[in-house]
Amino acid sequence: MSTFQPGQATVFHAASEIAQLTRAWRKLARPVVLVPTMGALHAGHLSLVTQAKRIPGALVVVSIFVNPTQFGPSEDLAAYPRTLETDVEKLRAIGADAVFAPAAEEMYPHGPRTMITPGPLGDILEGASRPGHFAGMLTIVHKLMQLSHCTHAIFGEKDYQQLLLVQQMVTDLNLDVQVIGSAIVRETDGLALSSRNAYLSTEQRELALTLSAALTAGAYHAGQGPEAVLAAAQAVLEAQPSIAVDYLELRGAQLGDVDPRGANRLLVAARIGSTRLLDNVGIDFGSEEVTGQPRPS
């Protein structure tokens, strides 16, 4: 059993041990905030932890688990960066309380068996490109929520569809957890931070900037309506034919139909070499008249 010290990012590998700690914390009527990650932590992940620490009296539990059930057979499960030691150092530096880093056998002692079905929201965008991904993601998030006895769970808008699906699961399965979304953290040049950025060569990283540039171009045309937003983003992507775009879609904020007078989301997924990257941005058409004039978002 690890000796727990608040703020010291104490590492737990056993499900029973993290469950024991968090159950005891809940008995004191104090919140437990779960921050699920796959590790290889960067400033985007750390911003979620910082947000978690703002909840008064909270025990902040960061899970680090490269979840096999959310990877397809031809995806990067084996290659995914695993940097537990430096991750724990980063978490200790910002005062996370506990780190739950189980082995795959600890989470799936019987292999993948009972799974959560995402429903139609899981079939579009990422779900269409990565069959089974969201069933694996929701299953592990549910298990982590149960084991951590969390009152709150924080997810990045970077994985926007994931955030909505977790919110939907909490509603549909009557889970007593408050799901909190957190803004995307970017490099100064606009690239959204991602553990998979580590796969990019210098030239590929330059090319990767096209994704955020396309979204920015789209957002800049919000004043001209949905078609102009999509066309502007599309033009930026098409100027770089070596980028294999999986999808570029404008959808309503809940990922349904576009709301021509309200909040929407412009989402992109693309492959640069063998690295698949995601990004998205909010597009608000507001209630004002469409003037034909571009406006910065």
Residues annotated within a binding site for beta-alanine:
70
Of the candidate spans 52-60, 153-161, 216-224, 244-252, the one that interacts with ligand AMP by CB under 6 A turns out to be 153-161
Which structure tokens are listed for 225? Answer: 């309506």
Q: What is the DSSP letter of 128?
A: H
Q: Position 91: which residue type?
A: L
- Identify each DSSP E strand in the chain by its residue range: 10-12, 32-37, 59-64, 98-100, 152-156, 178-182, 244-252, 263-272, 275-284
Rounded distance between C-alpha atoms, residue 144 and residue 170, angstroms: 13
Nearer to ligand AMP, 44 or 223 (CB): 44
287-293 LR contacts (CB < 8 Å, sep 24+): 287/261, 287/262, 290/223, 290/224, 290/225, 291/223, 291/224, 292/223, 292/224, 293/223, 293/224
Applying CB under 6 A, does 155 fall inside the site for ligand AMP?
yes
Binding-site residues for (R)-pantoate, in ranges, read 70, 162
Catalytic residue selected from 13, 45, 142, 152: 45
Do the Cβ atoms of 14 and 63 come closer than 8 Å? Answer: no
Question: How many residues bind ligand AMP, per CB under 6 A?
Answer: 17
User: Of the candidates 136, 156, 218, 226, which one interacts with ligand AMP according to CB under 6 A?
Assistant: 156
Rounded distance between C-alpha atoms, residue 265 and residue 199, angstroms: 27
Nearer to ligand AMP, 159 or 206 (CB): 159
Of the candidate spans 1-9, 90-98, 151-159, 168-176, the one that interacts with ligand AMP by CB under 6 A turns out to be 151-159
Of the candidate spans 79-87, 88-96, 184-192, 268-276, the one that interacts with ligand AMP by CB under 6 A turns out to be 184-192
Which structure tokens are listed for 109? Answer: 């002692």
User: Of the candidates 9, 48, 91, 207, which one interacts with ligand AMP according to CB under 6 A?
Assistant: 48
Applying CB under 6 A, does 159 fall inside the site for ligand AMP?
yes
Applying CB under 6 A, does 197 fall inside the site for ligand AMP?
no
**Phi, psi of 139, deg, nearest 5:** -60, -45
The catalytic site residues sit at 45
Residues at the interface with ligand AMP (CB under 6 A): 37-38, 44-45, 47-48, 155-156, 158-159, 182, 184-185, 192-195
